Amino acid sequence: MLTKPTTPTDSECAAETGTDGTSLPVTIPALRPTEQVEILAPGHVRLRLIIAYDGAAYFGWQRQPADLSVQQRVEEALTRIFPGGTGVSGSSRTDTGVHAVGLCAHVDVPRNELRFPPRKVLLAVNAWLPEDIRVLAVSRAPPGFHARFSARGKQYRYRVWNHAAHHPLWRRQAWHVPRQLDVSAMKRAARAFAGRHDFLAFSASPGYERRHTVRTVTRCSVVRSGPLLTFIIEADGFLYKMCRGIVGTLVQVGLGRFAPESIPDLLAARDRQLSGMTAPAEGLVLWRVYYPARGAAPRTREFAERPAGNPSDEHRPG
């Protein structure tokens, strides 16, 4: 069984305290993940994993008390190979039904249990995983690497099938919008999201007080290939359901519900009720996580604002 990591210090638990000094509700899972601990224990090796999954059958990435998650399946597979390993820390806590092709995670395993090279770890782990989850790459990570806190940005992609009839091969991985969309208007609106803005109007409430809602979007584009639309959004971090709020609003721009020129005003209003709908989960894919060059310091927990155990998303800075 994967073991619990070293208990964090008070400073390491800073993200579990609200801005007014009161404690935020925290639910600790059965296997406490290493995302609360950055120190590599003596005699252990840190492995970095790149994971892909079809999220349709899972209640998100993060382990849940009663529901099946991707993290649970990955930890169960790793336990078969490394009984003395720690829990798995993921770069993102994707929501129920959201997919991934490039989620990064790390796990610490005892050096004496690592008896074969990373390429064989990949084969061994996948042998114990269900078909809708796969580890695509395994490598040794430096001791200071942390899948969540070392991340500098993420790219999500969202697919919309814009045709009168939904394509059966996209039924679980794209949002079906049967009405014709004005893609030109959507592209103009998408450009307005680029830059550093307060994205409160395009996120849902996570159920706790957020320290800040400003994010920097480095790319927001719409690419069309026949009936298939792909929304590509890159940012230094994402608020809860921020990607889906942006995509839902852009689709409503394409339907004439909003003018492309209205996006700056919606951002400035900071009112979720004024902006567009939240797109459904099935079209969203965590595509890639960006990290600094080796040796750069990880981000602090002050920036990764969400305490462990709160509802998953796609995603806050962590």
Active site residue 182: no
Residue 316 sits at the vertex; the CA angle it makes with 8 and 66, to the nearest 5 degrees, is 70
Residue whose token pair is 């990955």: 74
Kind plus residue range of the DSSP H or E element containing 261: none
- Tokens found for residue 236: 């230094």
Residue 313, classified by CB atoms within 10 Å of its CB into exposed (0-12), middle (13-18) or buried (19+), is buried
Q: Which of 10, 54, 67, 95 is catalytic?
A: 95
CB 233 within 8 Å of CB 156:
yes
Count other Cβ atoms within 10 Å, centred on residue 40.
Answer: 20
70: Cβ–Cβ under 8 A, 6 or more apart, which residues? 51, 53, 55, 58, 60, 61, 94, 100, 133
Q: How far is CA 98 from CA 4, 35, 57, 115, 180, in A?
A: 27, 21, 10, 34, 25
Nearest alpha carbon to residue 161 among 150, 171, 152? 171
Residue whose token pair is 């951002």: 267
- CA 249 – CA 254 distance, rounded (Å): 9
- Tokens found for residue 238: 């994402």
Backbone torsions φ then ψ of 11, nearest 5 degrees: -65, -30
Q: Which residues are catalytic?
A: 95
